[in-house]
Chains A and B, each alone.
Chain A
Amino acid sequence: MKFGVVVFPGTWSDRDCGWVIDQVLGAQLQYLWHKDADLKGCDCIILPGGFTYGDYLRTGAIARFAPVMEKIGEFADRGGLVWGICNGFQILCEAGLLPGALVRNASLEFRCQWTNLMVERNDLAFTSQCADREVIRVPISHGEGNYFADPTALSRLEQNGQVVFRYCDPTGNVVPSANPNGSMHNIAGIINKRGNVLGMMPHPERCSEPELGGSDGLKLFRSVAEGAIKVLVS
């Protein structure tokens, strides 16, 4: 199982993702530069958090035109696993690989805090190690994580079961007080219809070891790695 972690100018969570893959999970790690036009045989591509191109114009707006993104689009079309975290989620929306957009937090504040997430789907390559409707604790760190989609796109997401994570309270109630940024329907993460492109604002790579205050994030990395093993065996 080989994970590719994409590095753009301004990416800042690449080494955190790399550490989890390489040191905690023990999987193969390949950093990919934004100018690369080859995904180097990676099985899962991660677009990590950060401020690509200084968030100029809009978050993710410039990054989506990087040479590597064209290859990632083709990879996703072939069913390859693509995982956007924080800024990576914003890039996937700008690139049209996921519906909707992420706008300024309703509070106008940059929010860096722990959140609880209701795992709405555990039948996906990214969440298979989570229990059914498990609540996981994962931190957020963003100023623009307020998920917006027009009413048609939003009802389509809900009908297709494309909402993967929702902000909730510690006991799993999806309530407005647990919503840190004003996202519609408390949405923290969504997947494309085919189930191979995931975008999420919270940072699983920052909670994948007990030393960091929690290791729920590792369940997601492990899901991807274990899923790949199952495919190899079957």
Chain B
Amino acid sequence: MIARVIVTPKPVVNDPQGITVRQGLVTLGFREVSDVRVGKYIEVSLDVATEHEARQRVEAMCKQLLANQVIEDYRFELEPEGRRHR
């Protein structure tokens, strides 16, 4: 199973990277850009029997290490290993 985890700064946390990227995009002429948030993408391969088990394990990984819930939100999706695209 592959878990695709996305970690983003919480809306209340100031994201200077996002602000700077937004300014860059606007300077390039993408004037429609109103906001940018920069986060992280983490891919975790795991050996588990069921999707239910994978969900529980990845949830625990996010809480304990992958995200700091003081400043970050996380979400993830699961995919069977065979469909992994590079």
Number of A-B contacts (CB under 8 A): 37
Range for the number of chain B residues in contact with chain A: 10 to 19
Known contacts A57-B65, A150-B70; is-contact A104 B16 (Cβ 8 Å): yes
Q: Does B1 contact A (CB under 8 A)?
A: no
Q: How far is the CA of A107 from the CA of B13 in the complex (A)?
A: 15
Residues of A near B12 (CB, < 8 A) are: 150
Contact A148 B16 (CB under 8 A): no
Contact B65 A61 (CB under 8 A): yes
Q: How far is the CA of A94 from the CA of B20 in the complex (A)?
A: 26
Q: How far is the CA of A146 from the CA of B13 in the complex (A)?
A: 11
Q: Does B68 contact A (CB under 8 A)?
A: yes
Q: Does B17 contact A (CB under 8 A)?
A: yes
Determine which residue in A57, A65, A105 has the highest number of CB atoms from chain B within 10 A of its CB, and name it: A57
Contact B68 A94 (CB under 8 A): yes
Contact B70 A108 (CB under 8 A): no
**Other-chain residue from A58, A107, A150 in contact with B16 (beta carbon distance below 8 A):** A107
Known contacts A57-B65, A61-B65; is-contact A100 B70 (Cβ 8 Å): yes
Contact digits for A79-111, partner B, Cβ 8 Å, 1 yes 0 no: 000000000000001100001110111111000
- Tell me the residues in window 137-155 of chain A with beta carbons closer than 8 Å to chain B beta carbons: 146, 148-150
Q: Does A50 contact B (CB under 8 A)?
A: no
Q: How far is the CA of A58 from the CA of B9 in the complex (A)?
A: 12
Contact A148 B70 (CB under 8 A): yes
Q: Does B46 contact A (CB under 8 A)?
A: no
Contact B68 A61 (CB under 8 A): yes
Nearest Cβ distance between residue B31 and chain A, in whole angstroms?
A: 23
Nearest Cβ distance between residue B19 and chain A, in whole angstroms?
A: 9
Q: Considering only CB atoms, which chain A residue lies closest to B70 in the complex?
A: A101
Residues of B near A93 (CB, < 8 A) are: 70
- Tell me the residues in window 1-23 of chain B with beta carbons closer than 8 Å to chain A beta carbons: 9, 12-14, 16-17, 20
Q: Considering only CB atoms, which chain B residue lies closest to A106 in the complex?
A: B16
Known contacts A94-B68, A150-B70; is-contact A108 B17 (Cβ 8 Å): yes
Contact A101 B71 (CB under 8 A): yes
Residues of A near B14 (CB, < 8 A) are: 103, 106, 146, 148, 182
Q: How far is the CA of A150 from the CA of B71 in the complex (A)?
A: 9
Residues of chain A at the chain B interface (Cβ within 8 Å): 57-58, 61, 65, 93-94, 99-101, 103-108, 146, 148-150, 182
Residues of chain B at the chain A interface (Cβ within 8 Å): 9, 12-14, 16-17, 20, 40, 65-66, 68, 70-71
Sampled A-B contacts (14; CB under 8 Å): A57-B65, A57-B66, A58-B68, A65-B65, A100-B70, A101-B68, A103-B9, A104-B17, A106-B16, A108-B17, A148-B14, A148-B71, A149-B70, A182-B14
